[in-house]
Structure 1
Amino acid sequence: MRSTTSSIPPVRRRAFLGAAAGVTAAGFLTACSGGTKVGAGENDTGDAPAFGGGEYDGPEVTLEYWNGFTGGDGPHMKAMLAAFNEKYAGRITVKNTTRRWEDLYPAMPTAISAGKGPDVAVIHNDQIATFAVRGTLIPLDDVVSALKLTESDFIPAVWQAGVYEGKRYSVPLDVHCLADYWNVRHLTRAGLEKAPTDREGYENALKELKSAGVSQPFWMPNKWPAHLMFMSLLWQFGGELYDEEGTKALWGSDAGEEALAWMTEQIRKGYSPGQVAQDAQYNAFKNDKVSFTWDGIWQINDLKSTAGKIKWDMASIPTIGSTPAVWSASHNFVLTSQAGRDKNKVQAAKFFIDYMSERSTEWARAGMIPARNSVRAEAGVARLPQTQLAKDVDVFRFLPALPGLGDVQSKALELAVQKAVLGQQPPAEALSDGVKTADKILAENKQKYAK
């Protein structure tokens, strides 16, 4: 998965998805996490020291910090790091290593086991369970307790996404989600001031745009971000992805069929070509050919480069079903078992995580929605276009915390969506076949990641 930011080409996002799916048990530390202990075996140093908050008062320490911010978000993260290192010079030095997500995730477990990995890192929420179950991460319950952080300080869904098996393994930095982008001139031509927010209005808008001369106003992708669109619609129609035990895929339900049928309907009605090449829908939007496109908020800064070519605006994706909902993800700070071998690194890393989370105003300029309520409330942040999407935080939906979920998503759900959108199978048939594959992988994961 590429960094979910504005200026990174979509090909990096696709590469990450494959890499995330390929991070298997063989590549992870085989030790399991036990309470606040670090990984067992050669990495076992006993209980990690508790975090008491306040200022770091230990000896001078250097922290290795890994992240995947290789695109337009990178300079913003580096600015935050520079400010931290300047303020705490002589006490804590944070050394930054930036790698592509598709390289970072497979490399982390082996590097941590060898003592050559990160002490603190940023990972996506859908990776937390997989890393946690293999003892690669140290719980952060003492951090949130000492700082008196609660769900009320954050967007609730992203706060909950950092918990696995009753323990907190992350502190969220941001939320990023899909958004509905539209071509202002196209809508004006069709007599529309802005994008409609409900199914009837949206479908009527597509009809009016076609009548106004935009032959195919809403291109439907069969790959990225088609599966994110499908999940958003699934939740809107009242469906769920997986059961609570993580043993059954539920997206082959009536809600799933309704969601996928709506996607294929856009092709049947002539609003989209039948076979949209990878990234073609976004490139067509940037080149004034498409009226609507659903894509991530990480595209905001990239679209700013189109000034003079197109005039665009954005809002939450429309509610096609009965309940507003949108696929969302999050970058999260985590503490690794490598840091757990040194009590001073543990303390410094926990202090660093809190500092970066609380002072994430700069990160909002990278196109992200700050996870912390206090940051989103700042005047300069509240005015940013992506922050407007967080007016109703209940719409954000996240993938469940299931170890090895990347395999299920890429090898089952994404393929089912692709086959239906390409017309290779009817939606119901594609979903049925996909669920069978998903259930098989889920069963294998139960064994693979068993404690």
Structure 2
Amino acid sequence: MRKSVARGLSAGLVAVVSLTLAACSGSGSDSGGSDGAVTGNGTYDGPKVDITFWHGWTGGAAPTLVPKLIDKFNAEHDNIVVKAVPQEWADISAKLPLAIKAGKGPDVAVLHGDDLATYAAQKLLLKADDIVDSLGYSAADFPPGVYDKGNYQGAQYAVPWSVTPLGLYVNKDVLAKASLTDIPTDKAGYEAALKALKAAGVQGEWVDGYVFTGTFEFQSLLWQFGGDLYNKDITEATFNSEAGVKALTWMRSLIDNGYSPANVAQDGNIKALLANETAFNWNGVWQTTNTAFDGLQWAAAPVPQIGDEKAVWSSSTHWVFPANKGQDANKTAAAATFVKWMNDNSAGWAETGELPGANTVRDDPSLVAKYPNLKPFIDELPYAHYETVSPGINEANALITTAINEALTGKKTPQAALDDAKAKADKILEQNRAKYGD
């Protein structure tokens, strides 16, 4: 049975979405004659609308889960019909900017954290401060640091949806070859385990020079040693600092000490773990849904603290409201209702190998009771680090992976590799400032 939407909102309620669109009208959006509003509990009181939703969830459990969620939402809202348009993330990156400029983009979409500033700088997204306030959201409703990734030049453009931290995957059977049972948590324990595994004829961690997951391991280590990727205003790369050199030198030492083979291929480390050839793999929470683990004696744990402080890499995804030319404010208000409902009903999203961003959902004991392998990843969130917020940052970020690969393959020393990458990254940052503005 369809659930009726509450009507007759208080006379003092401000139609915040109309105001948001009116404020953006100079950049191609207009209010579309809105007479609807959305309240803090996510209720939309406007006329019936169809809204489109673009997302890139085309693999794993998502193609089954997303339609079920949308069907349930549509059944509970008699004045909103959500129509999803799933496509590859690369296709979204290519199509979405042009579609928004032509007024043919979606009413709501999901983007990765490192894309938000690029879209915001091009005025492709609505400033969502009023929308977020109307839904009752604040930074305290999400893991520390992730809400701020939706903020660009003092305005909020996004609502967090999910987070995907790195963790340590352990093959218990391989660990047992060295008579080990405890999972190490710090540098001394981790290196002692690697040494014991080597004595047992096992190279304990296969380290690679690719984004998945050598880059994520390097960034975790960089932050653990007290460094950062860029300076505060993102005008200079700082990943070649003493902390960065320590991080990459430690990764290289795994090869030099015989704990890892050289020239590990893309995904070679996770494949080695699954083939009982290695004991440890730094990888993302998404691997908890990997059916190849079935029948394997394994465990997940927080990444060990190799540096001076706890830190771990994580990515994030966020809801955004495109600033389509001629955007209908009723549709944006309805989209905000959809976002609130999805976040409130996101417990099942764990089936996709991502952690729900909403604290109320993720901190519910029933989530870990149903998905116990998620606990170590949830435990890491207080010290997780997320994407850099800066327009065009991905081109500079790619140079970090190049440096890691050069150091791990022995083409350059860690210092030289990072210095060369920093010099090129600084030029890209300068070009980005000229292209997108300071």
TM-score by length of 1: 0.87
Query: Contact 2:31–2:329 (CA<8 Å) still a contact in 1?
Result: no
Residues 21, 31 of structure 2: 8 Å contact kept = no
C-alpha distance 387-80 of structure 1, shift in aligned 2 (>3 A): farther
Counterpart residue number, 2:70: 81
Match of 2:338 among 352, 364, 371: 352
Measure, in 1, the Cα distance between the counterparts of 2:227 and 2:393. 18
Q: Distance in 2 between matches of 1:144 and 1:393?
A: 22
Aligned counterpart, 1:11: none
Structure 2: how far apart are the matches of 1:345 and 1:44? 13
1:296 corresponds to 2:284: yes
Q: Is the 8 A contact 1:63 1:95 kept in 2?
A: yes
Give the superposition deviation at 1:180.
0.5
When structure 1 is superposed on structure 2, of 419-428 and 372-381 the one drifting more is 372-381
1:446 lines up with 2:433 in the alignment: yes
CA deviations 1:4-61 (Å, max 9, x no partner) are: xxxxxxxxxxxxxxxxxxxxxxxxxxxxxx99733645x2326997744452121211
Instruction: Indicate conservation of the 8 Å contact 1:376/1:387, yes or no.
Output: no
Structure 1 distance, partners of 2:293, 2:380, is 29
List per-residue Cα deviations over 1:53-73 (Å, max 9, x = no partner). Answer: 452121211111011101114
Alignment of 1:200-349 (within 5 A): 200-214=188-202, 216-224=203-211, 225-302=213-290, 304-308=291-295, 310-338=296-324, 341-349=327-335
Judge which range, 219-228 or 390-399, deviates more: 390-399
Tell me the distance in 1 between the aligned counterparts of 2:175 and 2:411. 33
Q: Helix, strand or coil for the counterpart of 1:391?
A: helix
Within the candidate set 410, 414, 417, 2:404 is matched to: 417
Whole-Å Cα distance in 2 between the matches of residues 229 and 118 of structure 1?
Answer: 35
Q: Report matched runs for 1:12-31 at 5 Å.
A: none
Question: Take 2:166 and 2:377, find their aligned partners in 1: how far apart are those partners?
Answer: 10
- The alpha carbon displacement at 1:213 in A equals 2.9
From 29, 34, 47, give the equivalent of 1:44: 29
Matched residue, 1:107: 95
For structure 1, the residue ranges without an aligned partner over 5 or more in a row are: 1-33
Displacement over 4 Å in runs of 4+: 46-51
Query: Does the 8 Å CA contact 1:126/1:399 hold for their aligned counterparts?
Result: yes
Instruction: Return the alpha-carbon distance in structure 1 between the equivalents of residues 329 and 135 of structure 2.
Output: 19
User: Which entry has the higher C-alpha Rg, 1 or 2?
Assistant: 2
Per-residue Cα deviation, 1:347-396 (whole angstroms, up to 9, x for no partner): 10111111111221111222221211110122321332224322253211
Distance 1:58 1:334 in 2: 20
Q: Does the residue aligned with 1:137 lie in a helix, a strand or coil?
A: coil
Counterpart secondary structure, 2:265: coil
Pairwise CA RMSD: 2.0
When structure 1 is superposed on structure 2, of 141-150 and 285-294 the one drifting more is 141-150
Structure 2 distance, partners of 1:379, 1:44, is: 43
CA contact (8 A) 2:187 2:304 kept: yes
Q: Is the CA contact 1:120–1:339 (under 8 Å) kept in the aligned structure 2?
A: no
Alpha-carbon distance in structure 2 between the residues aligned to 1:155 and 1:323: 18
CA–CA separation in structure 2 for the residues paired with 1:228 and 1:126: 14
Contact 1:229 1:327 survives alignment (8 Å): yes
SS in structure 2 of the partner of residue 352 of structure 1: helix
Q: Which amino acid aligns with 2:229?
A: L
Distance (whole Å) between structure 2 residues aligned to residue 62 and residue 35 of structure 1: 18
Residues 260 and 420 in structure 1, CA contact (< 8 A), matched pair in contact too:
yes
Q: Look up the match of 1:17.
A: none
Match in the other structure for 2:9:
none
Please state how far the C-alpha of 1:431 moved relative to its aligned partner: 0.6
Q: What secondary structure, in the 3-state scheme, does the structure 2 residue paired with 1:59 have? A: coil
Instruction: Give aligned pairs, total.
Output: 412
Task: Tell me what 1:434 maps to.
Answer: 421
- Structure 1 residues 194 and 340, CA gap change in structure 2 (3 angstroms): farther
- Write the distance in 1 (CA, Å) between the matches of 2:33 and 2:419: 46
Change (3 A) 1:336 1:108: same
1:153 aligns with 2:153: no
Conserved 8 A contact 1:48-1:346:
no
2:163 touches 2:356 (CA, 8 Å); kept in 1?
Answer: yes
Please give the secondary structure, in 1, of the residue aligned with 2:58: coil
TM-score (norm 2): 0.90
Name the stretch that deviates more: 233-242 or 363-372: 363-372
In 1: Cα distance, 2:408 partner to 2:43 partner: 54
Higher mean Cα deviation, 105-114 or 386-395?
386-395
